[in-house]
């Protein structure tokens, strides 16, 4: 990742002269500039700890200025950016993003045309790509691409197009994804950036694999391999993420197409072995996942169905490990924020005591001082109390999401899915690979959605559609209907994920299961009357709520989780989030779920 320069770096001797001048006259303003220069000096000399130290010093000095001059504002932006770059290199992507957002806020207030704006936005997009937040990745990539300085000077400009392409690929808009990847390839060819050219060919080959265009797959994978052989690993400078390993894995896929299964299996296992000690981030996950997909294809062509199941288990373990890493990172981030708030509170209390001591010395101002100090302390305590409550709410929310993730897929569903898969493999059914892919896609979608605060109605509908398709594959005695009112914009209306699915699951497992007649499930989402909520109706023609409860020895853990989540949303949105059960005698169950929603602007 390239960085802007500060014209020319200072020589070491010049720092001593500048520091001496600042210390000799306390009225001079320039410490932010001085510490930023030192941070940049150590950055170009690759002394990362010293870079972070002086970037922090610059930021601390700036934050104490009541009315900072333009020069100090400019260098505060640069210090936040340098700190964001260093934290990105340390793989602390959330902390990096917070500092970059601070820089962008200052830019927007004081200097919207600042030369660093595109660089800041691009690095935020890169962090969000690694954290798996597609919406923020797309938003900040757009900001970066619209910045003229970034377009003119940065060798990472093509990466902005790649981020747009990844978003379109996730949405299965493959033609748009191809367009953006080709835009990226065109740009990096102009600046002769070999590592980015290799990455673009890898990305295009993978995309054409999804489009089942084997000729284009061969062309792009072979082209990436030719460039790597021509320029060698030295061409893959700092900032490249596993492109040589992607090339090796992709060449293994071409071996599979040619029937060279032993060679392909050896290459893929070598790539996987090289990743064993690597921290799980988005790039590591994608590379491992690609290797597993290729191995499944290889074993299918060899009719080695036992190995297919073993690799599928490893894919599942990978997704779980990635999700655990993500949740652990979020919890650590909350703990860090909480520790910072406690330190601020301690400093504020000590500062207040010092003020009170000064007031005691000055007898004439003691009454005013006590009243003023008490008022400030009251406001500060109230402020910190509110902040701590918010942190606690966020912490509880993440724990709820983590519990939801563990409980989301009912053991009955997984058992039935695996039983169906085993039968397909025994019969050597040609549907086994599509079935594995569809199950993997559903699990991946559930993991992805569980990380989001809100998803679109379109995404929720797709998840329910895939889930019901899989369930109906091994329970052929029911039909289903998903309906969203025309008044709702499916692409713009967003709801919390995983609220509807547990009720649909209960309808299958405890409602229509065991019926002699054909089961039917209806799901209808519409705008609630006289309420700022969405009204979702889940209806089945099964045995009835009480009847199913009598036959069930377990309390629905998913239902308890939904109640906890609705209670949190009720406080957060000040709306009557709830669910109600309308009971029939023996004629089925009707659930009325009232959910919060927001509009994606």
DSSP structure string for 402-450: HHHHHHSS-HHHHHHHHHHHHHHHHTT-TTHHHHHHHHHHHHHHHHHHH
Residue 346 in this model has a pLDDT that exceeds 90 = no
pLDDT in the model for residue 338: 43
Task: Report the Cα 393 to chain-centroid distance in Å.
Answer: 20
- Give the Cα separation of 532 and 529 in Å (integer): 8
Distance CA 244, CA 228 (A): 7
Please give the C-alpha separations between residue 166 and each of 34, 180, 200, 206, in angstroms, as whole numbers: 40, 9, 12, 11
For residues 452-457, give the mean pLDDT.
86
| pLDDT number for residue 1 | 39
* Interatomic CA distance for residues 193 and 200, integer angstroms: 11
| Helix intervals (H) in 211-304 | 214-231, 243-257, 261-274, 282-302
Place of tokens 């999700």: 323
- Please report how the helices 70-89 and 93-110 are oriented relative to each other, as an axis angle in degrees rounded to 10: 160
Look at 487 and 412; give whichever has higher pLDDT. 487
What does the pLDDT read at residue 549? 57
The percentage of the chain sitting over the pLDDT mark of 90, rounded to a whole number, equals 22
pLDDT at position 495 is 93
The residue among 387 and 538 whose pLDDT is bigger is: 538
Percentage of residues in the chain having pLDDT higher than 70: 76
Residue found by looking up tokens 């969405």 in the block = 534
Cα separation, 331 vs 359, whole angstroms: 42
Query: Considering only CA atoms, which of 193, 254, 246 is closest in space to residue 219?
Result: 254
Per-residue confidence band for 413, with pLDDT thresholds at 50, 70 and 90: low
pLDDT band at 552 (very low <50, low <70, confident <90, very high): low
- Kindly state the tokens that stand for 503: 């009720």
Among candidate residues 118, 115, 113, the one with its CA nearest the CA of residue 140: 118
Phi, psi dihedral angles at 476 (to 5 degrees):
-80, 5
- The DSSP bridge pattern shows strands 598-599 and 455-456 to be unpaired
Write down the pLDDT at residue 225.
Answer: 92
Residue 84 clears pLDDT 70, i.e. is over it = yes
Is residue 194 very low, low, confident or very high in pLDDT (cuts 50, 70, 90)? confident
The residue ranking higher by pLDDT, 351 or 155, is: 155
Q: Closest by alpha carbon to 534, among 523, 545, 544?
A: 523
Residue 293 pLDDT: 92
Residues in a beta bridge with 589: 583
CB 518 within 8 A of CB 478: yes
What does the alpha-carbon distance between residue 118 and residue 417 come to, in Å, rounded to a whole number?
Answer: 47
Rounded to an integer, what distance in angstroms lies between the CA atom of residue 520 and that of residue 460? 20
Highest mean pLDDT among 4-18, 300-314, 417-431: 300-314
For the segment 223-236, the average pLDDT, to the nearest whole number, is 77
CA dihedral of 173, 122, 276, 265, whole degrees rounded to 10: 40
CA–CA dist 319, 314 (Å, integer): 9
Spatial CA neighbour of 543 closest among 597, 576, 504, 584: 584
pLDDT value, residue 235 = 45
Query: What is the pLDDT confidence band of residue 397, given thresholds at 50, 70 and 90?
Result: low
State pLDDT tens for residues 4-41: 444 445 555 566 667 777 777 767 778 888 888 888 88
Looking at the predicted structure, is the pLDDT value of residue 374 above 70?
no
The listed CATH number (3.40.309.10, 1.25.40.10, 3.30.413.10, 1.10.287.470) that belongs to domain 1-154: 1.25.40.10
Beta partners for residue 480, in sequence order = 521
Which pLDDT does position 238 carry in this prediction? 42
Give CA–CA dist 576/325, Å, rounded: 34
Contacts of 55 (CB under 8 A, 6+ apart): 35, 36, 39, 79, 80, 82, 83, 86
Q: How far apart (Å, rounded) are the C-alpha atoms in residues 177 and 128? A: 18
Q: What is the CA radius of gyration of the chain?
A: 29
Work out the pLDDT band at 427, boundaries 50, 70, 90: confident
pLDDT at 236: 44
Lowest mean pLDDT among 268-277, 523-532, 564-573: 564-573
Domain limits, the chain: 1-154, 325-405, 455-599
Residue 136 near residue 99 (C-beta atoms within 8 A): no
Q: Tell me the per-residue pLDDT of 131-171, one tens digit each, with 9 for 90 and over.
A: 878 888 899 999 988 888 888 877 788 888 888 888 888 88
Task: State the average pLDDT over residues 497-520.
Answer: 85
The mean pLDDT value of the chain amounts to: 79
Which residues make beta-bridge pairs with 520?
479
Q: What is the CATH number of domain 455-599?
A: 3.30.565.10
According to DSSP H, which parts of 111-231 are helical?
A: 117-131, 134-145, 148-153, 157-170, 174-190, 194-210, 214-231
| CA angle, residues 339, 342, 346, in degrees to nearest 5 | 140
Q: Output the CA–CA distances (angstroms, integers) from residue 441 to 57, 132, 140, 191, 308, in the order listed.
A: 47, 16, 27, 37, 16
Res. 2: pLDDT tops 60: no
Residue 312 has pLDDT above 60, yes or no: yes
Name the pLDDT band for 411 (thresholds 50, 70, 90): low
- For residues 466 and 519, the answer to whether their CB atoms sit within 8 Å is no
Report which secondary-structure segment, H or E, holds 482: strand 478-484
Per-residue pLDDT tens over the stretch 56-82? 998 998 888 888 888 788 888 999 999
Q: Is 238 helix (H, G, I), strand (E, B) or coil?
A: coil
Residue 369: pLDDT band by 50, 70, 90 thresholds?
Answer: low
Q: How far apart are CA 510 and CA 346, in angstroms?
A: 54
Judge if pTM exceeds 0.95.
no
Please give the Cα distance from 112 to 409 (Å, whole number).
47
> Mean pLDDT over residues 349-373, rounded?
58
């Amino acid at each position: 990742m390239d960085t802007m320069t500060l014209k020319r770096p200072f020589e070491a001797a010049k720092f001593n002269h500048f520091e001496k001048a600042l210390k000799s006259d306390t009225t001079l303003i320039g410490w932010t500039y001085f510490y930023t220069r030192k941070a940049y000096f150590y950055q170009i000399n690759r002394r990362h700890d010293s870079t972070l130290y002086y970037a922090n010093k610059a930021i601390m000095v700036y934050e104490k200025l009541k009315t900072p001059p333009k020069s100090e504002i400019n260098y505060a932006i640069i210090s936040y950016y340098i700190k964001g770059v260093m934290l990105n290199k340390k793989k602390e992507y959330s902390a990096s993003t917070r500092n970059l957002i601070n820089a962008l806020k200052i830019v927007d207030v004081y200097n919207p045309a600042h030369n660093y704006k595109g660089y800041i936005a691009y690095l935020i997009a890169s962090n969000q790509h690694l954290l798996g937040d597609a919406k923020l990745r797309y938003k900040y990539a757009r900001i970066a691409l619209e910045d003229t300085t970034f377009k003119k000077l940065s060798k990472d400009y093509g990466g902005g197009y790649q981020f747009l392409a990844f978003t379109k690929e996730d949405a299965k808009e493959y033609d748009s994804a191809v367009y953006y990847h080709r835009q990226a390839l065109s740009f990096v060819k102009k600046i002769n950036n070999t590592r980015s050219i290799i990455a673009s060919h890898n990305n295009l080959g993978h995309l054409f694999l999804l489009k089942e265009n084997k000729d284009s797959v061969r062309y792009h994978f072979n082209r990436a391999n030719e460039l790597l052989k021509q320029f060698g690993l030295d061409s893959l400078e700092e900032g490249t993420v596993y492109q040589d390993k992607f090339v090796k894995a992709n060449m293994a896929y071409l071996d599979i197409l040619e029937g060279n299964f032993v060679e392909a299996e050896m290459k893929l296992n070598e790539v996987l072995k090289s990743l064993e000690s690597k921290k799980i981030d988005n790039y590591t996950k994608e590379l491992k996942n690609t290797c597993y997909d290729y191995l499944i294809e290889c074993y299918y062509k060899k009719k080695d169905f036992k190995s297919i199941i073993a690799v599928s288990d490893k894919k599942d373990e990978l997704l779980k490990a990635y999700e655990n890493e993500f949740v652990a990172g979020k919890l650590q981030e909350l703990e860090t924020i909480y520790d910072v708030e406690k330190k601020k509170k301690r400093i504020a209390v000590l500062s207040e005591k010092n003020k009170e001591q000064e007031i005691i010395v000055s007898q004439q101002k003691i009454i005013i001082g006590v009243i003023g100090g008490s008022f400030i302390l009251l406001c500060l305590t109230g402020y910190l109390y509110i902040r701590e409550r918010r942190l606690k709410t966020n912490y509880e929310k993440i724990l709820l999401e983590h519990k939801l993730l563990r409980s989301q897929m009912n053991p009955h569903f997984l058992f039935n899915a695996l039983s169906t898969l085993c039968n397909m493999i025994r019969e050597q059914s040609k549907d086994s690979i599509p079935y594995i892919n569809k199950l993997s896609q559903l699990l991946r979608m559930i993991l992805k959605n569980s990380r989001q605060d809100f998803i679109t109605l379109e995404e929720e509908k797709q998840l329910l559609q895939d889930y019901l398709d899989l369930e109906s594959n091994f329970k052929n005695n029911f039909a289903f209907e998903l309906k969203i009112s025309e008044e709702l914009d499916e692409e713009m209306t967003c709801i919390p994920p995983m609220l509807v699915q547990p009720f649909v699951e209960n309808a299958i497992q405890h409602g229509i299961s065991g019926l002699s007649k054909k089961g039917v499930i209806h799901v209808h989402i519409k705008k609630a009357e006289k309420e700022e909520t969405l009204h979702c109706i889940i209806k089945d023609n099964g045995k009835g709520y009480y009847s199913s409860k009598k036959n069930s020895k377990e309390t629905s853990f998913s239902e308890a989780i939904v109640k906890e989540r609705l209670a949190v949303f009720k406080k957060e949105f000040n709306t009557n989030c709830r669910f109600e059960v309308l009971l029939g005698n023996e004629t089925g169950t009707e659930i009325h779920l009232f959910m919060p929603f927001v509009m994606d602007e």
